[in-house]
Structure 1
Amino acid sequence: MKMKFALTLADAKRVAAAAAQEAKRNDWAVVIAIVDDAGLLVYLERLDGVQPASCDIAQAKARAAALFRRPTKALEETVAGGRLALLSLPHITPVEGGLPLTHDGQVVGAIGVSGVQSFEDGIVAKAGAEALAAEG
């Protein structure tokens, strides 16, 4: 048997708060989704003024980052490099804005952000992920 760390609701809220702070600092309306290591929703925060579609997109980015254990930007770069077969895989969301959340070298979940340009979503997601890493 192996011991496995688990993301708590308190962890998810801390990650989301750091991400929301970064979004608000830049005046960006976004949705922030935090999922566990199986890609299941733990916490969702929708800032005022964000487009409704971003609720689903943020969750999809988080799920992809958790299940594939890598940033969605890496998936995007793979597809852009011509590996179109990746698009046929389940739960793939090859758009920047999803990052795995790690603790002690283990993926414990992921953050997904949607609402502004993808690279800006990535900045917000990074701020959230760094908040969890700082606690580590």
Structure 2
Amino acid sequence: MESISLEDARRVIAAAEKKAEEIDCPMDIAVVDAGGNLKAFARMDESFVGSIGISIDKAWTSIAFKCRTADLAPLTQSGESIFGLNTTNSGRVIIFGGGVPLVRDGNIVGAVGVSTGTVDQDMEVAEAGAAAFGQ
């Protein structure tokens, strides 16, 4: 199984940090490998301590379900097909935006998770990190 390198993970974090600085919102940024294991992490000054675990779990959720965490939100609402998904895996599943898979040659090789801002800010910063991976 191909996985993300530490060099690639650091590039993802650097791009995410740059976007977080541009929008003036410090973030907790996590990158996991293809197995969902933490590969790299950065906690920007003034980011929320409570968001450390959330950022890691967003990245883990993204790799575990091979999708953006934002894509899970509509599917997990009351009455929908996977309602309650967020209560599985010891509560580790995050069902709102900020987790993005990292794809190489059509294969998911890792994921980035971002937390501290609004969901839209988290998504913007995570997408910037993911975009840097594709370069």
Q: Same-fold call, TM > 0.5?
A: yes
Number of matched residues?
A: 131
- For the 8 Å contact 2:101–2:110, the answer to whether it is kept is yes
Aligned to 1:7: 4
> Gapped runs of 5+ residues in structure 1?
none
Q: Report the CA distance between 1:95 and its aligned residue.
A: 1.3
1:95-131 C-alpha deviation (Å, 9 max, x unpaired): 1000000100000000000000011100000000001
Alignment partner, residue 129 of structure 1 = 130
CA contact (8 A) 2:19 2:125 kept: yes
Distance 1:29 1:88 in 2: 28
Q: CA RMSD in A?
A: 1.2
**TM-score, structure 1 normalization:** 0.91
In structure 2, stretches of 5+ residues that fail to align are none
2:112 aligns with 111
Counterpart position of 1:26: 23
Q: Which residue of 2 aligns with 1:98?
A: 99
In structure 2, distance between residues paired with 1:100 and 1:59: 13
The share of aligned pairs that are identical, in percent, is 35
Question: 1:18 and 1:43 mapped to 2: Cα distance?
Answer: 13
State the match for 2:84 in structure 1.
85
Paired AA for residue 103 in structure 2: T
Within 2, Cα distance between the matches of 1:82 and 1:43?
37
Moved over 3 A (4+): none
State the Cα distance separating 1:81 from its structure 2 match.
6.3
Q: Which amino acid aligns with 2:68?
A: P
**Aligned counterparts of 2:79 and 2:55: Cα–Cα separation in 1:** 24
Take 1:39 and 1:57, find their aligned partners in 2: how far apart are those partners?
A: 14
